[in-house]
Amino acid sequence: MEDMLFYDRLQFAFTITFHYIFPQLTMGLALIIVYLKGKYVFGKDKDEKYNTAAHFFMKIFAINFTMGVVTGIPMEFQFGTNWSEFSRLTGNVIGQTLAMEGMFSFFLESSFLVLFIFGEKLMSKKMHFLMAFLVFLGSWASGYLILATNAWMQNPVGYELLENGVFNLTSFSALVFQNPWTIPAFLHNQMASLVTSSFVVSSIGAFYVLRNKNVEYGKLFLKTGVVFGLISSFLVAMPTGDWNAKNVAKFQPATFAAMEGIFETEHDGAEIILIGQPNMLDKKLDNKIAVPNILSFLTYQDWDKQIRGMDQFKKEDLPDNIPALYYAYHIMVGLGTIFIAIMALAGFFLWKNKLHKVKSLLWTIMFLVPFPYIANITGWYTAELGRQPFLVYGLLRTKEGLSPTVSSGNTLFTLLGFVALYMLLGLLFLVLVGKTINEGPALQSSQSSH
């Protein structure tokens, strides 16, 4: 049983982590493409450069979207294959949002993507802009429905529990619109996605400038990426990150204690941990650096408000991997802080019109590109490890959601298969994206003109 739980979770974690490399870029990039296309269609100078840039990024979008489709199908299947009890018990409720995602957003995204790429000559400029906008709408609607599904698992609403343990939907609008968890999580997630895309856009820009190739586009990408990056890296922390932390404190206090690393309840205000390693043997933090009372203030706007530590919860209700949760959360927060600093600095030089000359900063931006991905993924780890040991918070434990007939050996076998295939897929992805970036947007425009 323990083995089954371990391998099923590992397989899901591996496949979802790999999958989420792609949507996190496409969601943010879609917005940036809408901006670029909008600048071309509605801007004062109607600069052709913006249109070429929009096409260039749509090409990168398309590669990522394809990868997202290919790795997304195993996600949907795994609910049934590895988590059949979970599917049986909750399909009544979250089947709604997942099916809507498949039916509406996915279609919206994939169809209008095709229309955008192949249809420019067939329609007016404004129609073509609309296509970009609908791709954006599809990808964000997709994100919303997935977040609404996850929000229901974090904070179940609009259901009744039948005698046989099945969750029965009683309110569609509660599930889709009214869950207090959904909107903050969605906005936080979308801003985080925009951080990733901004870094990708600006790092391609930095690459072109540093390599002294496509320099005009390099500057455009830098400008666009840094402006979006500055806005989004602020918004991802304040207010959206803050809202989410408050939701965790309110709906999942045990999780809150674990992710903040509070082992013991203090009578007056709680300190905020900056650095330290959870020591699960002695139930304390090693090498701790902390600032007193800040956590209470941030959470409740009250310096002396008491925050319950892990000592106040039963062991079986606390997340089962506290160090992993704690690190995931702190890596996310730490990286987020670095992003704000870098983007603010880049924004300053951009304002002074000197950014393209500050080589050291360009190098930094270029090599920083994996880190927003790490921040996004550790952010999701925080949400998912934090929900443990439950699948549906407080109601259905993770070990109760497994497929009872699928043995751990079978899951390990399929996990190994996924690892091998995804390595190949990752290689393909790098080749395709690398080639597109190398060719550059200029080639793009000469291609679309004949």
Residue ranges binding other proteins (CB under 8 A): 59, 65-66, 69-74, 76-77, 79-82, 84-85, 87-93, 95-96, 98-104, 106-108, 110-111, 114-115, 117-119, 122, 168-170, 172, 403-406, 410, 414, 417-418, 421-422, 424-425, 428, 431-432, 435, 447-448, 450
| Residue 193 and residue 27 in contact, taking contact as beta carbons nearer than 8 Å | yes
Alpha helices, H only, 306-397: 322-351, 359-367, 370-387
- Angle in degrees, CA 333, 339, 343, rounded to 5: 155
Peptide bond into 389 cis (omega under 30): yes
For the chain, the C-alpha Rg in angstroms (whole number) is 23
Least distance between other proteins and beta carbon 170 (Å): 7
Least distance between other proteins and beta carbon 429 (Å): 9
Question: Of 36 and 350, which has the nearer Cβ to other proteins?
Answer: 36
Q: How far apart are CA 82 and CA 14, in angstroms?
A: 13
- Angle in degrees, CA 104, 110, 116, rounded to 5: 125
Question: Of 19 and 223, which has the nearer Cβ to other proteins?
Answer: 19
Q: How many residues does the chain have?
A: 450
Least distance between other proteins and beta carbon 10 (Å): 15
Backbone φ and ψ of 289, nearest 5°:
-120, 120
Least distance between other proteins and beta carbon 296 (Å): 42
Question: Of 112 and 326, which has the nearer Cβ to other proteins?
Answer: 112
Least distance between other proteins and beta carbon 61 (Å): 13
Question: Of 169 and 342, which has the nearer Cβ to other proteins?
Answer: 169
DSSP-derived secondary structure letter, 122? G
Distances (CA, A) of 11 to 289, 355, 410, 418: 35, 43, 11, 8
Least distance between other proteins and beta carbon 89 (Å): 8
Q: How far apart are CA 339 and CA 266, in angstroms?
A: 32
| Residue 146 and residue 112 in contact, taking contact as beta carbons nearer than 8 Å | no
Question: Of 46 and 435, which has the nearer Cβ to other proteins?
Answer: 435
Question: Of 72 and 319, which has the nearer Cβ to other proteins?
Answer: 72
Backbone φ and ψ of 161, nearest 5°:
-95, 115
Least distance between other proteins and beta carbon 35 (Å): 23
Question: Of 43 and 119, which has the nearer Cβ to other proteins?
Answer: 119
